[in-house]
Amino acid sequence: MTKLGLKATTAAAALLISISAHAQTLTPSFSASQTAVAVQAEITRLNGMGWSVDRIMVAAKAANVELKTFAIAAAKAGLPVASVTLAVLAYSRTAAEGLKILGEAYAGNQEALATVFSTALTMPSLMMSVAAIESSIEAGCGRDCLSSTTVSQQTAPSLLRQTPQQQTNSTFTLTSTFNSGGGTGTGKPLSPTN
């Protein structure tokens, strides 16, 4: 083998080893038996590599990491509680179950519980009443863990998502006298009603 051929082969082998080592560092190393501290370390590592909360959650769920363990570890790793709330709710069997898990994970942390509550309130896809959201979180805490101030501040009318009935615009009525068949052409235009 010539010197040039040997150098090329050596360079190619070094490149493959480098790529292999780099690929291993990108692979999440979650396992179902990990402690919250080990999960936290892995979340911190993946987050530092630019992984989104959703992508980290997918990797954790693939390794059967419990949602409660993920929620605790993610908050301790510095991920936003609102993003963790969305991820946990997306992977829970039901919204009530997810809120209970989050209530249990963040019991004793009023700021995190308030964030879970406010995030759930603003989710248009979450079809639960305010009382059901509150009771689901508190079922996880095992007590009345959401302060009345938190609930009242978060449920001010301007902050609540509207139910489908409230989303209809009651100031305009879509009426028309146009009908098929004969007519005089005197249909009325659509207009606001008072």
Per-residue pLDDT reduced to its tens digit, 124-155: 888 899 889 999 999 999 888 887 777 776 66
Q: Name residue, tokens 């179950």.
A: 97
Backbone angles phi, psi at 191, to 5 degrees: -145, 155
| pTM: predicted TM-score of the whole model, two decimal places | 0.66
What's the rounded Cα separation, in Å, for the pair 107 and 191?
53
Provide CB contacts within 8 A for 138, sequence distance 6+. 103, 144, 145, 146
Q: Which of 120, 156, 157, 122 is nearest to 135 (CA)?
A: 120
pLDDT band, residue 31 (cuts 50/70/90): confident
Percent of the chain at pLDDT > 70 equals: 64
**What's the confidence (pLDDT) of residue 164?**
44
pLDDT at 115 over 60: yes
* The predicted structure's pLDDT at residue 97: 97
Could you give the angle at the alpha carbon of 75 between the alpha carbons of 133 and 162, nearest 5°? 30
> Rounded mean pLDDT of 110-126?
91
Distance of CA 8 to the CA centre of its chain: 48
pLDDT (average), residues 47-64: 93
pLDDT of residue 61: 92
3-class DSSP string for the chain: CCHHHHHHHHHHHHHHHHHHHHHHHHCCCCCCCCCHHHHHHHHHHHHHCCCCHHHHHHHHHHCCCCHHHHHHHHHHCCCCHHHHHHHHHHHCCCHHHHHHHHHHHCCCCHHHHHHHHHHHHCCCCCCCCHHHHHHHHHHHHCCCCCCHHHHHHHCCCCCCCCCCCCCCCCCEECCCCCCCCCCCCCCCCCEECC
Mean pLDDT of 178-185: 48
Which tens digits make up the pLDDT trace of 60-105? 999 999 999 999 999 999 999 999 999 999 999 999 999 999 999 9
Tell me, what's the pLDDT at 24? 42
